[in-house]
Homo-oligomer: A and B are copies of this chain.
Amino acid sequence: MSLKYAILGFLDLFPLSGYDLTKMFDDSIMFYWPATHSQIYRTLKELHKSELVTREIIEQSENPDKKVYSITEKGKETLKEWVSAPLDLPTLRHGLLVQLAFASRLEDLQIIALLEAFAEKLRERLALYHSDELKEQLSYSRTKRESFLWGLILENGIQTYECELRWAEAAIQDLEKQVWKTED
């Protein structure tokens, strides 16, 4: 489970509240671990119990009180350990490919429509990756080396989605040409 460590990682940059973290998870386009606020609040509670973070309650006059969490030494060690141990390949659960596996009952046009919808969503996602919003996020890095690392992540996303898009476009073309009729 990476969520625990993802939170520790953010807290290693600077102290944050559950609300702040939720926004970071939501807004960070290149961040590969979606999480909702309910999950984050629960995980923060666990992290606090196992003493990987400390909590400070900040009273605010204008806004509701906030609980700001900071990483502890123990937390930093735990994070560093996790970061340096290789993980298994991510499990791919790719709904469209499941659909395709059982799509022989559909018309060519319906399959093309599926692939078109997929391609369109990929194009939108790629547009996000090329937006200014993302460049802005990259600028939060503190060193050249860190911004290089974040660039790697960004690059991975772009290449992954471009690769999927090329595949989808080629598949659509093949379907339009009905290549399986001419293949030997």
Q: Does A147 contact B (CB under 8 A)?
A: yes
The answer to whether B144 touches A180 (Cβ under 8 A) is: yes
Q: How many copies does the complex hold?
A: 2
Q: Known contacts A80-B105, A98-B33, A180-B148: does B121 contact A89 (CB below 8 Å)?
A: yes
Q: Does A6 contact B (CB under 8 A)?
A: yes
Q: Using C-beta atoms within 8 Å of the partner chain, give the interface range for chain A.
A: 35 or more
Q: Does A57 contact B (CB under 8 A)?
A: no
| Stretch of A46-54, A62-70, A152-160 at the chain-chain interface | A152-160
A-B contact pairs, 10 of them (CB 8 A): A5-B98, A32-B94, A33-B94, A86-B117, A97-B156, A100-B152, A104-B145, A156-B164, A159-B166, A160-B163
